[in-house]
Amino acid sequence: MRGRRFPRKAALLLMVGLSLLLLAACGSSKQVATTTSACSLITTDEARQVLGAAVRSQPQEVVSKPKNATVSECLYTSASDSHVARASLALSIAADAASAQQLYNQAKSAALDLSRQTATVSLGDAAFQTQRSSSFGQETLLTVLKDNTVLVVEALSPGHRQLDLEQSLAQIALNRL
């Protein structure tokens, strides 16, 4: 039986667009000089281990640099059609902790404005989980604030609880920030 195929490019573009939209609302004009990318925070072996499925050896990555931050998106996808799994990380590096806090607050406010359920999670300096309905059923997103960064994690793998997958990936990433 073939698993459902997730629109990889659409999910990646949606996360890039959301990150850029939220960052545009931040008022800092300082340039950020950093080489940290979302794909450097999770190895393909770690993604495979957490998702319980082989992942493609080269994750898809998109990096953009609006004037007040660096936004990096990384998408890990399963290497097999028999076990469809994916994980995406969006890393926004703001000019300073205050700008990152503002971005985090805006993301939480946007989730509440869209009437999505949120729950507080104990990770980083602050974190919340957002639940939303999609064509695949209930999906979650985990948003984590740490210092001058905001990390958004989404993970799907049959037979696994999404929040557990997302928290595991977020913890690995946070250890590298």
Ranges of the chain with pLDDT below 70: 1-35, 67, 115, 135-137
What is the model's pLDDT at position 29?
Answer: 37
Helix, strand, coil percentages in the chain from 3-state DSSP, rounded to 5:
35, 30, 35
Look up tokens 């319980």; give the residue. 52
Q: Write down the domain spans for the chain.
A: 8-176
The topology (CATH level 3) of 8-176 is Protein Transport Mog1p; Chain A (3.40.1000)
Structure tokens at 131: 């639940």
Structure tokens at 141: 């997103």
Mean pLDDT of the chain: 79
What is the model's pLDDT at position 82?
Answer: 75
What is the model's pLDDT at position 172?
Answer: 96
What is the model's pLDDT at position 116?
Answer: 75
pTM to 2 decimal places: 0.78
d(CA 91, CA 35): 12
d(CA 63, CA 166): 21
